[in-house]
Structure 1
């Protein structure tokens, strides 16, 4: 087999592959056997029909088509390897020449991983915001704690913001109740939103026993976006009574004896949380500084696929939250064009970072061991709310282990870069990145990973064997970035 590559762009290549006909022979023999099992020809037993008879009965063209379809994937993969190309999308393949008993020629256009000239990635500098825990931050936490210990009392007045109401709700379309859009006895806090648009306005001013109707659009289910009529009945109006903020409350709600001790603990916890946020911001700032030093060509097909996936994911999240993209943009004071531009920039930066970190991981010869893969599997399972064993089994069975391996290697590459960087806050103070873990994540407790690790042991052991192959045989990677 002979192959040649033509570079169409920094991220797209065209392979021309010439396959001598003798290399098609195994696939031709297989095609004849399969077709012989599928046809009935008088005078011949099923499966014993000679090739020349099949050519007359079915046609040589059908046999060639089957043999070519059998051969192309392997020859395409062989040509990729011979020309040191890593695809990031499915190819567009076209048979350009077929001379029976002579030669098969085909072309394959495909988006490929770009070649990147690595910039210097040691000693980068970046800046992040100062850490500040305000009195308002502490008061907000105290208020949330008081609300947890609050009690509800029925009131004989109209509902207003922050009241709790017990309601019956029913949505109809053309007089028919919408499936799944009828609830009774539901508790809801007026003014907090997050359910259906128009509900807060309808409830405000209603007393127990009163009803209101309004028109809105559904934000979830099969009828998302459909306009419906909603009837809401108020059964109870309740006012929340909060406990006094005194030492007795501190003792009831915490392990502290005084309010001042409770406030000090809340301030410390908020500070710890903000330090984790600052560490994450520092990591991102260092990565952004690295991206500014190099121009990474990006495959358009990959960008389009990632953009569509992110749009879909965000729309699903908004639907779960009981709102729409239009409502979200209105709340954020953002136009659809601004949103799309921001989303595209995030996607471009993310894809560029993947390619760049892959190159650095390769240059630094970063590998992984089985325990690292196991912990990563458990962490990913926790993030998605899945059982670690089931998640590990799914990853292994669907050949996603190379993707997980590459995620870990990218994390290691990022950790390596951040470790050598100098990060300061807006006041010029050095930011200590003690919470940055070796895989590039921020401050995730080891205990949580260790407690869940046993659940994924068996599948992770299998995955680890797979990972060893992926990282020892020339750093093999999955074809996706």
Structure 2
């Protein structure tokens, strides 16, 4: 077999492949066997029909077509390996010449990863917010903790903001009560915004036994996204009581004996959270700077597929879960469809560039992933997916996704190399040393950036294989 490569543009090539007829023999034999197993000819046992009889009855052309269809993927893969191409996606194959007994000639146009020259990234400088935890931040944290330990008691008065009301709900669309639009005994905190738009105004001022109606767009169920008239009946009004902020509360809500110890711990936790946010912000800004410095050609088909994948996921997975339509989604976002599509394309471009650049860095820096690093990453991914590590690991193995996880870890390490070489200062002009921060932060930040490019990466890896 002979193969040659013609570069069409920086991200697309045309492979020309010539295959001697004798190399088709294994596929021809397989084609005759397949047809033998599928057809019946009087006078011959199934599976024992001679090739000449198959040619007479079904045509030599049918056998050749079956053989070529079987052989093309193998010859294409051999040509890709022989020419050391890093292909993306499925090829467009065209048989240019073939006669029975003569060589097979075909071309395959396919996208490839572009050649990338990694620039000197040691001069990257970024600025992040300084870490500052105020007394107000600490008190707000303590108030949130108090809120978790609040108790309620029934009161005989009109409901006000902050009260808990127990309500019965009945939703109607076009005058008909929905089968799944009835709910009884629902507890709702006025002002929390966790139920239906319009309910706060409807129940404020109502006492036990009172009813009201309000208009709202349903967020879930059989009529998700539709405008409905909702009838609400208040069966009970409850007043929330917060515990006193004292040593007794500290003992109730934590392992500490005094309020001052709890307050000091709250400050320490807030500082740790802000350190993590600072580290993540630094990594994101360094990555943006690296992308800005690096020239990356984007394969048109890969970008088109990526945009289509993201749009499909939005329409068929996220919209149904959130009870949204394009109209309500765009209204919520305050954008036109054209503005959203432009943002989506920019995100897709950034995701693809991120993956290409970090993969090139992995190769340049000769980075590898050991079992411990892969396991730690798997545990993090499992936690974010809501699955146990064992369940997530099984799903990854069964789905053939282990190489993708290895790639995510490797890209995280590549990003850490660039961040380490960059100069990071805070808004106070102080140099930020990220080496002492949570060692998981670089990996998790890289995971977020590579996650955006995951569909394109999955397609590329599976198609290459």
Q: TM-score range by the shorter chain?
A: 0.7 to 0.9
Tell me, yes or no, if structure 1 residue 357 matches structure 2 residue 358: yes
2:99, 2:110 → 1: CA distance? 25
**Does residue 347 of the first structure (1) align with residue 339 of the second (2)?**
no
For 1:428 and 1:480, the matched residues in 2 are separated by 47
Name the CA distance, whole Å, in 2 between partners of 1:327 and 1:292: 34
The Cα of 1:360 is off from its aligned counterpart by 0.9
Residues 179-188 or 38-47, more deviating: 179-188
- Give, in angstroms, the shift of residue 480 of structure 1: 7.2
1:36 deviates by 1.1
Instruction: Determine if contact 1:403/1:478 at 8 Å carries over to the other structure.
Output: no
Match for residue 92 of structure 1? Answer: 92
1:22–1:378: structure 2 CA closer, same or farther, 3 Å change rule? same
Return the alpha-carbon distance in structure 2 between the equivalents of residues 241 and 279 of structure 1: 38
SS in 2 for 1:292: helix
Distance 1:443 1:96 in 2: 48
Query: In the alignment, is residue 286 of structure 1 matched against residue 274 of structure 2?
Result: no
Aligned to 2:417: 416
Partner of 2:455: none
Matched, 1:435 2:437: yes
Q: Distance in 2 between matches of 1:197 and 1:324?
A: 16
Correspondence 1:160 to 2:184: no
Separation in 1 of the partners of 2:163 and 2:313? 33
1:106 aligns with 2:80: no
Cα displacement (A) at 1:319: 5.8
Aligned to 1:406: 407
Distance in 2 separating the partners of 1:56 and 1:203: 83
- CA displacement, residues 143-173 of structure 1 (integer Å, 9 cap, x when unaligned): 2111112111223333333221112223344
* 1:429 CA displacement: 0.5
Contact preservation (8 Å) 2:250, 2:258: yes
> Residue 98 of structure 2 aligns to a residue in which SS?
strand
Structure 1 residue 281: Cα displacement: 0.8
Matches within 5 A, 1:106-255: 106-173=106-173, 177-178=177-178, 180-221=180-221, 223-255=223-255
Mark the CA change 1:413 to 1:108 in structure 2 (over 3 Å): closer, same or farther: same
Q: TM-score scaled by structure 1?
A: 0.84
CA contact (8 A) 1:157 1:207 kept: yes
Q: 1:230 to 1:256 in 2, by over 3 A?
A: same
Distance 1:330 1:226, change over 3 A: closer
- Please name the residue that 1:262 is paired with: 262
The count of residues paired between Structure 1 and Structure 2 equals 450
SS at match of 1:99: coil
Of stretches 316-325 and 298-307 in structure 1, the one that deviates more from structure 2 is 316-325
Post-superposition CA distance 1:398-457 (Å, at most 9, x none)? 32222122112111111111122211011111111122538932599xxxxxxxxxxxxx
Distance 1:384 1:305, change over 3 A: farther
* SS of 2:443 mapped into structure 1: coil
Deviation at 1:322, TM superposition (A): 6.5
Which structure 2 segments of 5+ residues have no match? 447-459
> How far is 1:25 from its partner?
1.1
Q: Which residue is 1:449 aligned to? A: none
Structure 1 position 69, deviation (Å): 1.4
Output the TM-score relative to the length of structure 2: 0.87
Q: CA deviation at 1:276?
A: 0.6
Identify if the C-alpha distance between structure 1 residues 208 and 306 changes in structure 2 by more than 3 Å, giving closer, same or farther.
Answer: farther
Once the two structures are TM-superposed, the CA of residue 13 in structure 1 deviates from its matched residue by: 2.1
Contact 2:220–2:321 (8 Å) recurs in 1: yes
CA distance in 1, matches of 2:409, 2:278: 22
* Structure 1 residue 4, shift from structure 2 partner: 2.3
Bigger Cα displacement from structure 2, 372-381 vs 426-435: 372-381
C-alpha separation in 2, matches of 1:438 and 1:189: 37
Q: Retained in 1: the 8 A contact 2:126–2:282?
A: yes
CA distance in 2, matches of 1:324, 1:154: 40
CA distance in 2 between counterparts of 1:329 and 1:132 reads 36
In the alignment, structure 1 residue 55 sits paired with structure 2 residue 51: no
Distance 1:99 1:301, change over 3 A: same
Cα displacement string for residues 375-417 of structure 1 (whole angstroms, at most 9, x for unaligned residues) = 2222222221222223222322332222122112111111111
The residue matched to 1:107 in structure 2 has which SS?
strand
Kept after mapping to 1: 8 A contact 2:87/2:464:
yes
